[in-house]
Each structure stands twice: as structure tokens, then as C-alpha cells.
Amino acid sequence: MNQGEGGILIGALEELQPAVNFASHALTEAGNVYGPRTNPDYQLFYLLSGRARIVIGGEACTIGPGESALYGPDCPHSITILEDAVFIGIHFLFRHASPVPVHPAFTIRNCSEEALAEGRRSAYKLALGEGEELELPPFMTIAGIEPILMRIVKEYMNEQPGYAMLLRSLMTELLLSMVRHRLADRPKSAEHGKIEPALQAIHREPEKNWTVAELAAMCGYHAIYFSSLFRKCTGENPKQYLISQRIRKAKFYLLSGEKMEAIAERLGYTSVHYFSRNFKEETGLTPTEFKQQ
């Protein structure tokens, strides 16, 4: 790991050997405060429900369901729970020879409020090849990573034979999801701009049964050309993209305690059966299995 003018270069993406040191899935009450403190390793704090205020090296942000915070070794931070919350916390290293977890508890240090306010967060960067670097920001919203996070927690808690190697594999998958999310957030191509009105409409009203013709008309194109362009830009056809957005919202509603019947109706499904089928096709789990995990 090298410290440069632009932050800390963790290393090449292909050379990562992540190790999970600790993983937990917890319910916490409003008013609980963690910190100010520093960790010996990296931590990903992912909120499944509720709200929390995170301060990382003097930078504050309030996050909600589906949002996360990332901070590294010796970075002053604090977490204040604003509403009863369910979260997943992963302590890890990007590169470590052994995949066997080393619990960080005895090397987590309290720090002062002054250190928290005056601290500065380093930028963490990964090398992608040909001189290109990608920064991982302190606050991110990454759709679709809940199943990976839950599997990491399950493997860590159960300690079945080979669990350390499987944790390394799952953490690699999680980091790649984060990288791909960041790459997708880069400035869009001219072609992507052509379908932007349709994307905004789907994100704004995923419960509406949009037709391809309606979406194409927003962008000023024939339905056939629009569908081809949409798949080229997103990797999915318009119908599948709409389903993906619905299921992303459904996860948050499930974790917030809403009933399946209400969620299905809210997201424009004509039946709970149809909603459940779409959910399993998209996530590999039924809504009930997802909520139980």
C-alpha cells in the first residue's frame, strides 16, 4: 500500500487477497453511539433499515437503507443511530497473506472529539491497469449486495470447514461489486444520454407498468431501435431493467417490515405470486427467505 498525493493506493485489483476479520448483523436502538474511535483495519458499515449519522475524518453524512460507509485504518470515525436500525458491519483487509479472521476488538482505539473533527479521510484507490486508478468514496449506495453481505456474516458466524477461504471469495465478490458500481457511475456516453429520459422515468416510478413504446417515445425513438440501444447501454432489456428496479425497492420495504401483499401492490404487481416469482428470479431467494436471512 502506497501513500501518494492523491491518497492511498491499495494495489492492483487483480492482486487483492482480502481477509474478513469480523462480520456482524445487528439490531441497534436509536440514540446508540459508536465512537469516536479508530480501527486497525477497514470497515464497511451497511444499513439495512433505519437511519444513522456517520462522521469519517471530519466528513459527516446521514445514511439510510441500502447506503453504506467505508473507512480505513487509523481514520477517526463515529456512528450515531438516529432511528432504530438493522445493519451489517464487515471488518476486513484488502490484502493479507492469510484468510483466517483476526478479530479487531483489542486494537480498536477510542479517540477524542477533537481528533474526529480535525481528522482527514484518506482516499482509497485501486489500480485498474494501464495507469488507471479508481477511488472508493466514503459513502456509497450499491444495489444488490445484501445477499453477499448476509452470506459473509453467515460464514463468519458458523465457522464451517473452509470458511476462511470462502470468506475471502465472498469478500472478493463484494469488492468487485463495489468497483463495478463505481465504474457505472462514471460520466455516461453519448449513447447512454439518449435513453436517460426513460431511465429517469423508471427510477421515479418503478411501480408503473411502462411499455417499451412509452419509454421509446420519451426518448424520441422507434421501439425497436430504442430496445436495442437500451440493452447496449444497460445490459438488460427495458422490461428486465424495470423488474430489477422494482426488486431493489422491494428489498428495502421487506427489511422495513412491510407485508408482502402491501409491497406487491405498491410496486404494481397484480398478485403476490407474480411478485414472489420475480423476486426469486432476480435474487435467488423468495421474499420470505431474504427477510429471514
The CATH number that applies at residue 249 is: 1.10.10.60
pLDDT of residue 189: 66
Sheet arrangement for strand 7-12: 2-4, 7-12, 124-129, 132-136
pLDDT of residue 4: 44
The per-residue pLDDT of the chain, averaged, comes to 87
- CA separation for the pair 43, 34 (Å, rounded): 13
pLDDT of residue 27: 93
Tell whether the model's pLDDT for residue 244 goes beyond 70.
yes
Q: In this prediction, what percent of the chain has a pLDDT beyond 90?
A: 45
Q: How confident is the model at residue 122 (pLDDT cuts 50, 70, 90)?
A: low
Residues 66 and 93 grouped into a single domain: yes
**Which of 184, 208, 243 finishes a domain?**
184
Residues 9 and 113 grouped into a single domain: yes
Residues 86 and 104 grouped into a single domain: yes
Residues 15 and 71 grouped into a single domain: yes
Tell whether the model's pLDDT for residue 21 goes beyond 90.
yes
Is residue 71 within 8 A of residue 8, CB to CB? The reply is no
Query: What is the residue range of 259's domain?
Result: 190-292
Is residue 147 within 8 A of residue 283, CB to CB? The reply is yes
Residues 37 and 125 grouped into a single domain: yes
pLDDT of residue 54: 94
Tell whether the model's pLDDT for residue 161 goes beyond 90.
yes
pLDDT of residue 257: 78
- What average pLDDT does range 158-186 have in this prediction? 89
**Which of 164, 184, 204 finishes a domain?**
184
Residues 255 and 164 grouped into a single domain: no
Please tell me which residue, 143 or 59, carries the higher pLDDT value: 59
3-state helix, strand, coil in the chain (%, to 5): 40, 25, 30
What's the number of domains the chain is made of? 2
Tell whether the model's pLDDT for residue 36 goes beyond 90.
yes
**Which of 121, 151, 184 finishes a domain?**
184
Residues 179 and 240 grouped into a single domain: no
- What average pLDDT does range 93-106 have in this prediction? 93
Residues 171 and 202 grouped into a single domain: no
